[in-house]
Amino acid sequence: MSYAGDRTIIDADSHVIELDDFLHSFADSKDRDLIPPMSAQRELPVVQAGLDRGRELFAKRQADPEVMKKFEQGLLDAKKSGWNRLGAFDPAERSHALNLFGFRLQLVLPTFTYHQIGHAKDPEVLMAGARTLNRAMGAFCADDKRLLAIGYIPLTLGPEAAAQLMDEGFRDGCFSFMVDTNEPDRKKRSYTHRDYDPVWARFADRGAPFVAHVAVTGDFESIPRSFFNNGYKKVELGGDAPSGALGMVAIANTVQLFLAAMIFDDVFIRHPKLKGIAMEFGAVWLPSWLQSMDVGHDVFKVFQPNLKERESRSVGSSSRSARTSWSSGRTIPTRRGRLIRSASSRRP
C-alpha cells in the first residue's frame, strides 16, 4: 500500500533537486551563455561532493534492484541529502516515487536553479534564465500528468515581458508560476497596478493559482540587519530557512503585505477567478492578518472609496496556504469560519 493509502492527497510543495547542468541542458543557443553556473549563486550553496554522490547513488539504483529497494524503504528518511533521495532529479524516478507516495497530484518547484537566475540584475540574463527555467520545469513534468510544473515569472521586468514569459512557459508545459512578493525598485510600478492586469488575467483565465513562495520575495529584507548585531551568534540554516526565532516571527511579513495589497488594490475584484497559494510561510499569522485588514478597511474606507467591503471576505475563496515543515498541522480558526491549508511534503 502507498503512503497515502485511501486518502486523496495533493502535494502542494515539492521540489526538483537539480543537477548542475539542469538549465544549460535546456537553454537555446542565444540564452545559454547568459545563464550563470548553478554554483555561482550563494543563496543556496551547491556542494560538489553532494552532487557527485547523488549521481553515484542514482546510477546504483538504476543498476541494482536491491539498492532501489533500500531507497524505497527509506522514502520518508529526511536525513538524506536532497540529491540522494528517490526521484530528486530524474523524471522517471520521480514518477516511481509518486507511485510509492500515492499522491494524486504534485506541484513541482525549482530549488537551486531559481537562485541561479532569480537574483540577476541584468534584465537580459533574468529574461533568458526565466525562459529556460520554465522550459526545464515543463520538460521535467511532461511525461506524468500528476506532476504540475511551477516555473518563475520575474514581474520586475514589467508586464509586457512577464506576459511574454507566461505565454512561452505555458506552451512549454508549466502549470503555473512563482511570482515575487516585492518589487525591489521603489521607482517601479507595484505589481498590483492596473498595467499588470494582463498578467493576472492570464493566471485567472488558465485557472492556475499564482504561487507566492518563501524563497521568491524580490530580495525583501524582513529583518533589518542591525537586529543581528546583538552579541549572539546568528543562526544560519541556509537557503530560505528563517534566521533563528526572530526570523520565524518575520517569515510571513512579505506575503502578508503582498496579498493585502492585491486585495486592497482590487486585483481580485478585477479578476474574480484569480487564485493564489502561499508556500512555506507558516500559517499562524492568518487570523491576525485577516483582522488587521478589516481594521484597515474600517478606518480608511472614508479616504479610500474603493474599499467596498471588509477585505477578509475575499480571502477564503482566493487563497490557500501551504504550511512549512515546522508549522502545526491544525486548521486555522477565523472569525468567519475556517481557512483550510494545503499540505506540503517538503520532499522531492
Rg of the chain on CA atoms, in Å: 20
Write b or e for each residue in 283-309: b if 16 or more Cβ atoms lie within 10 A of its Cβ, otherwise e: bbbbbebbeebbebbeeeeeeeeebee
Cα(346)–Cα(348) distance, integer angstroms: 7
Q: 223: number of CA atoms within 13 Å, CB side? A: 17
Contacts of 191 (CB under 8 A, 6+ apart): 155, 179, 180, 183, 199, 258, 261
User: What is the total count of domains within the chain?
Assistant: 1
Encode pLDDT of 64-103 as tens digits: 999 999 999 999 988 888 999 999 999 999 999 999 999 9
CATH number of the CATH domain containing 287: 3.20.20.140
- Does residue 124 lie in a domain region? yes
Record the cell numbers describing residue 113, joined without a space: 536553479
Judge whether 62 lies within some domain: no
Nearest alpha carbon to residue 133 among 218, 24, 43, 54: 24
As a 3-state breakdown, the chain gives helix, strand, coil percent values, each rounded to 5, of: 45, 10, 45
In a domain, 194, yes or no: yes
- Asked if the structure places residue 72 within a domain, the reply is no
Determine, yes or no, domain membership for 136. Answer: yes
> Which candidate, 20, 16, 8, 213, places its Cα nearest to that of 97?
16
User: Which residues lie across from 107 on neighbouring strands?
Assistant: 148
The three grid cell numbers given for residue 21, joined into one nine-digit string? 547542468
User: Do 117 and 133 meet the contact criterion of CB atoms below 8 Å apart?
Assistant: yes
Note whether residue 71 is domain-resident.
no
Enter the C-alpha cell of residue 210. 499564482
**Domain annotation covers residue 1:** no
| φ, ψ dihedrals at 268, nearest 5° | -70, -25
Concatenating the DSSP letter of every residue in 113-182 gives HHHHHTT-SSHHHHHHHHHHHHHHHHHHHTT-TTEEEEEEE-GGG-HHHHHHHHHHHHHTTEEEEEE-S-
List the Cα angle 76/71/138 in 5-degree steps.
80
Those residues of the chain that have pLDDT short of 70 are 238-239, 308-348
The boundaries of the domain holding residue 186 are 10-36+91-339
| pTM for the structure as a whole | 0.89
Q: What is the pLDDT of residue 20?
A: 96
CA dist 133 and 126 (Å) reads 10
Tens of pLDDT, residues 274-324 = 999 999 998 889 889 988 988 888 888 888 888 866 555 666 555 555 544
State the pLDDT at residue 143.
97
Residue type for position 9: I
Residue 3 falls within a domain, yes or no?
A: no
